[in-house]
Amino acid sequence: MRRGLALPALLALTLAACAPRPPEGFDADAVDSAIERAIGGPGTCVLLARKGETRAFHRYGSNVTCGRTLPSCVGAETGKVADLLDAAAAGGPVVHRSCPTAPDNSRSVGWASGAAPGKPNVVYAAYMEGDRALPGMVMSDRLRAALERAGL
């Protein structure tokens, strides 16, 4: 019985060792709370990574939410928030855009990415989708302020 528990524990430790580490003093609870108040909800995903790294050190939102493919608001293209994080981490331009996700315009998506305020080595990528989704520019402003309030 002990042997059956040792393998999952070892696997968990191995995976944790491979995960990107957040910056010194990073408070995940404070960041999540600030995001929740600013743009949060079940249709929101925010990824944080170090510039130059494409793996997030922090995620706000569920695996399902953060794994969705949505209109990118650039022509007929679709994308995922991880694609936006890759571009931001590579030094891509600041993004704030939005567009409808339903043919009757009853739902929309807002996308935002850029460097965290005061932390040019930390980037964020986010989207919010739903019937009350904020436009990308508003998301970007609120998210940057939330990250700053949370000490990031």
Cα within 13 Å of Cα(70), Cβ side:
30
Count helices and strands in the chain by DSSP H and E runs: 5, 7
Taking the CA atoms of 84, 85, 89 and 95 in sequence, report the sign of the dihedral they define.
Answer: positive
Which has the closest alpha carbon to 23: 118, 88, 127? 118
The answer to whether residue 4 is domain-embedded is no
Q: In the numeric block, which tokens belong to residue 29?
A: 């609870």
Region for 73 from its dihedrals, namely left if φ exceeds 0, alpha if ψ lies in -120 to 50, beta otherwise: left
Q: Which of 16-20, 61-65, 143-147 has the lowest mean pLDDT?
A: 16-20
Determine the Cα angle at 34 with ends 30 and 39, to 5°.
Answer: 150
Per the structure, how many domains does the chain have?
1
The answer to whether residue 14 is domain-embedded is no
Determine the residue type at 73: C
Which pTM value belongs to this model? 0.86
What 3-state DSSP class applies to 148? helix
- Residue-wise pLDDT tens digits, 77-136: 999 999 999 999 999 999 999 999 999 999 999 999 999 998 889 999 999 999 999 999
Return the pLDDT at 116.
92
pLDDT interval class at 19 (50, 70, 90): low
- Residue-wise pLDDT tens digits, 52-82: 998 999 999 999 999 999 999 998 899 999 9
Return the pLDDT at 122.
94
Indicate the helix (H) or strand (E) that contains 38: helix 28-39
What 3-state DSSP class applies to 124? strand
Question: What CATH number should be reported for the domain holding residue 98?
Answer: 3.30.450
- Kindly tell me if the per-residue pLDDT of 34 is higher than 90: yes
Domain extent, residue 47, equals 21-149
Distance CA 97, CA 129 (A): 12
Q: What's the distance, Cα to Cα, between the start and end of the chain in Å?
A: 44
Mean pLDDT of the chain: 88
